[in-house]
Structure 1
Amino acid sequence: MERRSVKQKAARLFGQWGVFFKGFLEHPKMVGSIIPSSRFTISKMLSRVKWDECKVFVEYGPGVGTFCQPVLDRLPRDGQLIVIDTNPLYIDYLKKHFRDSRFSAVLGSAADVEEIVRAHGHQNADYVLSGLPFSTLPKGVGPAIAAATYRVIRPGGAFLVYQFSAKARDFMAPHFERIDNGFEPLNVLPCQLFWGWKEPAA
């Protein structure tokens, strides 16, 4: 029984990595890394979320769901996690893997986040997480995503971004009043962390 359990865990692990790697090979400019984020990056990135005030959490480019379970573990019972990806390979994998009623996987563009959030019965998102490689996205897509993200986030919410390059901050700066910086060395590769806050109205 124990041996079978180990084999099952190994199969799930390599299956997940296999899907992730295949997605990277198919769309290298749309996937931020060849390796999923480390648990240290996940923990630090989510540490500033006020979970008791979070009802709608959105993630761009979830890949094989490295952040999904940690978010669901923290999300209130009446919350919702909406993930958006342009790769049907990842969306199909996520729909099969996550059976939580609070989870929704959408095949689409992050630039359409406002329409996607409204289609799920909400006007705003509390937090939006992104690992998209802004600097390698097609021309105009990065700025469009940053602008739409600012509009969809409620006052007091935040845009959480993790990147290998600090250039992601340049896309956030025109919209977010305050941007906190962080760094996580225990990741392959070490990555920059940003929290862009949409300040409450005066």
Structure 2
Amino acid sequence: MTSTQVAREPLLQRAKRKVERLAGPAGIFFKGFLKHPAMVGAIVPSSNRTIERVLSVVDWEECRLFVEYGPGVGTFCRPVLEKLRRDGRLIVIDTNPDFIAYLQKTIGDSRFIAVHGSAADVEEIVKAHGFDHADYVLSGLPFSNLPEGVGPAIMGATHRVLRPGGAFLVYQYTARARDLMGQFFRRIDKGFEPLNVPPCVISWGWKE
């Protein structure tokens, strides 16, 4: 590496950090979309209306552990933490280390745990943090774009980790994930939120 390259490297890193600070969460989210479009599935975070609709079924008094797959920049994390009981926990799981690092830096709530890993390993992750089960699991993962076998593995692990009466909250941009959900969840309630970019298909799968 030349002396010019050595001098340029810190400058480039500083410029990158400055751009990320100016862009804020939207910039981090867009960066994640560009790096892993199949895993992020959308170019902008979900709308407030979508967040309210998706979380509307949660019994917060009875929720001790809430798990989220693919939290991105925390669009759902903050509303969940606002509603979550004082002794509750929110575990988020993402394969994108940029998102996990951003969340760890920006969310200082002691109830919040960010894990760099796969949603297919949710059972092990939940147990590693001292829980036998989750009350609710939330996912915005684009199931139709996941590698072969990963979607069913995540669905199966999610069904197993949920307590009886718990629910899998899924928001997607097509209804195709419902066919996969139907292999594991007998009861699926359906919703739709048009005020989202793109419009959002919502499914609540209940463990009976």
Q: Does 1:25 align with 2:14?
A: no
Could you say which residue in structure 2 is the equivalent of 1:6? none
Q: Does 1:197 align with 2:202?
A: no
Q: Does 1:155 align with 2:189?
A: no
SS at match of 1:126: strand
AA aligned opposite 2:92: V
Shift of 1:108: 0.2
TM-score between the two structures when normalised by the length of structure 1: 0.92
**Structure 1 residues 41-60: aligned runs within 5 Å:** 41-60=50-69
**Structure 1 residues 46-125: aligned runs within 5 Å:** 46-125=55-134
SS at match of 2:160: helix
Aligned-pair RMSD on alpha carbons? 1.0
The one of 15, 31, 39 equivalent to 2:48 is 39
1:134-167 Cα distance to aligned partner (Å, 9 max, x none): 0000111001000000000000000000000101
1:95-131 Cα distance to aligned partner (Å, 9 max, x none): 0010000000000000000000000100100000000
Shift of 1:14: 2.7
- Mapped to 2, the partners of 1:179 and 1:32 lie a distance apart of 22
- Mapped to 2, the partners of 1:14 and 1:186 lie a distance apart of 23
- Mapped to 2, the partners of 1:176 and 1:147 lie a distance apart of 9
1:14-60 Cα distance to aligned partner (Å, 9 max, x none): 31111000011100100021100000000010000001010000000
SS at match of 1:30: helix
AA aligned opposite 2:101: D
Could you say which residue in structure 1 is the equivalent of 2:136? 127
Gaps of 5+ in 2: 1-19
Larger-gyration structure (1/2): 2
TM-score between the two structures when normalised by the length of structure 2: 0.89
- Mapped to 2, the partners of 1:171 and 1:128 lie a distance apart of 16
Fraction of identical pairs, as percent: 70
SS at match of 1:157: strand
SS at match of 2:147: coil
- Mapped to 1, the partners of 2:86 and 2:23 lie a distance apart of 30
Shift of 1:13: 7.7
- Mapped to 1, the partners of 2:115 and 2:155 lie a distance apart of 19
Gaps of 5+ in 1: 1-10
- Mapped to 2, the partners of 1:78 and 1:131 lie a distance apart of 25
Q: 1:192 to 1:97 in 2, by over 3 A?
A: same
